């Protein structure tokens, strides 16, 4: 029964069965649970970032439109500044899209996404009063084009969120499947989340040039700069103009604007080195895991590995925690996920510590 006492009567009903997004508490010697990049930034880069931060005028509001950073992002991605919108991580951009394209869902206009995938698509959509339909990934953790096309026809969504590479599976949507989706959902906006694309073998940016209903999301959070909380949206200029209307004023702090501009221009080589190191280490760790009994690994295009255990993932997760190694377990979701762990690629000594602990547990 709904509690209508006092202020509680005004609460968003979607919050009733939700929990706040909270990282696992506690101190661990090795944390491989958050998909952050390992600590690979050079001393020279650290010094330049500190020097640039020291020049900030802390009295002033940020530049509301972030023009220098938008220009830098546009040059890096090969688009125009008018096709770039910046946010506090991808999370804020997801929320902006949901506000800009809000519907009550009674005559279509809800949100379609896949499962398992980034949980914030569903959570943020429900908070913004969107109905949500989730289409399960197939047995190989790929998108089933027939199932998605049927869902689009039945649900008529306003927004479709597709992570490619996908979190938590590390898989990419086959390009022909993605094209089929975009073309079959001509009256929907298809948001392709490329948060992990720096570690992938390809990107999907060309879809912007061939289809007007595509939005690309990217971020600096996975390549060593999660502290900056910078995400960006790439889309046709008319889409950017409309979504920009729901952006809160001064959403990007001055430190983020100044330091992120430095990162995507002068420190571009650092991003390349971080990516190359992580990809090499990812392949090495995957090969080592393949030799462990009761363990199998899905080929990854991200900075983490999707690992299946014959034993319960909960049992393995707790065994690793007992050795001060934290990974991400999906056992609470039940079904086929009760045997899966997601493990972020860390520094070599962190990965070795994980491998040693896992070998002991299994």
Q: How far apart are the first and last CA of the chain?
A: 46
Q: Are residues 119 and 258 in the same domain?
A: yes
Question: How many structural domains are present in the chain?
Answer: 2
pLDDT at 69 over 80: yes
- Are 312 and 356 in the same domain? yes
Indicate the pLDDT class of residue 13, thresholds 50, 70 and 90: confident
Domain limit, last residue, from 239, 266, 293: 266
218's torsion region: left (phi>0), alpha (psi -120 to 50) or beta? beta
CA distances from 142 to 166, 229, 312, 341 (A): 9, 29, 23, 18
Q: Please tell me whether residues 148 and 111 are part of one structural domain.
A: yes
pLDDT at 206: 95
β-sheet bridge partners, residue 300: none
Strand order, beta sheet including 159-163: 84-88, 230-234, 214-219, 189-193, 159-163, 111-115, 132-136
**Is 52 a domain residue?**
no
Helices 254-264 and 67-77: angle between axes, nearest 10 degrees: 30
Rounded Cα distance between 158 and 102, Å, is 8
One domain for residues 237 and 307: no
Q: Are 117 and 181 within one domain?
A: yes
The answer to whether residues 102 and 116 belong to one domain is: yes
Domain annotation covers residue 67:
yes
Same domain, 355 and 227: no
Q: Which domain holds residue 221?
A: 61-266
Among 205, 240, 266, give the residue marking a domain's end: 266
* Residue 123 located in a structural domain: yes
Write down which residue in 235, 250, 266 finishes a domain: 266
Residue closest to 260 by CA, chosen among 274, 271, 272: 271
pLDDT score at 11: 87
What mean pLDDT do residues 259-284 have? 98
Full-model pTM: 0.94
Can you give the CATH number for the domain in which 143 is found? 3.40.640.10
Does 219 map to a domain?
A: yes
* 170-214 confidence digits (pLDDT tens): 999 999 999 999 999 999 999 999 999 999 999 999 999 999 999
Question: Considering the domain boundaries, does residue 262 fall inside one?
Answer: yes
Question: Both 69 and 159 in a single domain?
Answer: yes
Same domain assignment for residues 295 and 261: no
pLDDT in tens, 204-255: 999 999 999 999 999 999 999 999 999 999 999 999 999 999 999 999 999 9
- What's the chain's average pLDDT? 94
Query: Do 212 and 314 reside in the same domain of the chain?
Result: no
Residue 196 has a pLDDT of: 98
> Domain with 303 in it: what CATH number?
3.90.1150.10
Q: pLDDT for 308-353, tens place per residue?
A: 999 999 999 999 999 999 999 999 999 999 999 999 999 999 999 9
55 within domain boundaries: no
200 inside domain: yes
Same domain, 255 and 284: no
pLDDT, position 21: 75
Residue 252 lies in a domain: yes
Q: Which residues pair with 304 in a beta bridge?
A: 344
- Token duo for residue 31: 């944390």
The DSSP string of 249-289 is TT-S-HHHHHHHHHHHTTTHHHHHHHHHHHHHHHHHHHHHH
3-state secondary structure of 298: strand
Indicate the range of 18-22, 150-154, 185-189 predicted with least confidence: 18-22
- The mean per-residue pLDDT over the stretch 56-79 comes to 96
Are 218 and 304 found together in one domain? no
215 touches 239 (CB < 8 A):
yes
């Amino acid at each position: 029964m709904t509690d209508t006492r006092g202020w509680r009567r005004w609460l968003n009903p979607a919050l009733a069965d939700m929990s706040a997004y909270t990282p696992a508490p506690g101190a661990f010697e090795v944390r491989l649970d958050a998909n952050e990049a390992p600590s690979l930034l050079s001393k020279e880069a650290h010094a330049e970032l500190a020097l640039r931060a020291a020049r900030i005028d802390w009295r002033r509001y940020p530049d509301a439109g972030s023009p220098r950073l938008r220009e830098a992002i546009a040059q890096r991605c090969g688009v125009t500044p008018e096709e770039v919108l910046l946010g506090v991580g991808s999370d804020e951009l997801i929320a902006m899209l949901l506000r800009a394209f809000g519907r009550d869902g009674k005559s279509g206009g809800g949100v379609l996404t896949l499962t398992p995938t980034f949980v914030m698509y569903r959570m943020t959509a429900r908070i913004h009063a969107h109905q949500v339909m989730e289409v399960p990934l197939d047995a190989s953790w790929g998108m089933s084009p027939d199932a998605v096309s049927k869902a689009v026809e039945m649900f008529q969504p306003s927004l479709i969120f597709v992570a490619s590479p996908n979190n938590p599976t590390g898989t990419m949507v086959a390009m022909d499947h993605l094209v089929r989706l975009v073309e079959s959902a001509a009256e929907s906006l298809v948001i392709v989340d490329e948060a992990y694309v720096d570690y992938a073998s390809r990107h999907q940016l060309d879809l912007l040039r061939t289809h007007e209903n595509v939005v690309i999301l990217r971020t600096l959070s996975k390549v060593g700069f999660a502290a900056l909380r910078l995400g960006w949206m790439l889309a046709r200029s008319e889409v950017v103009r409309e979504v920009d209307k729901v952006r809160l004023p001064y959403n990007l702090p001055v430190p983020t604007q100044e330091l992120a501009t430095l990162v995507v221009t002068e420190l571009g080589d650092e991003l390349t080195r971080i990516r190359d190191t992580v990809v090499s280490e990812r392949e090495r760790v995957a090969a080592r895991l393949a030799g462990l009994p009761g363990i199998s690994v899905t080929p990854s295009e991200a900075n983490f590995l999707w690992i299946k255990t014959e034993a319960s993932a909960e049992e393995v997760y707790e065994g690793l925690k007992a050795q001060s190694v934290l990974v991400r377990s999906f056992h609470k979701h039940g079904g086929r996920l009760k045997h899966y762990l997601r493990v972020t690629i860390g520094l070599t000594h962190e990965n070795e510590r994980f491998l040693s602990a896992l070998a002991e547990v299994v």
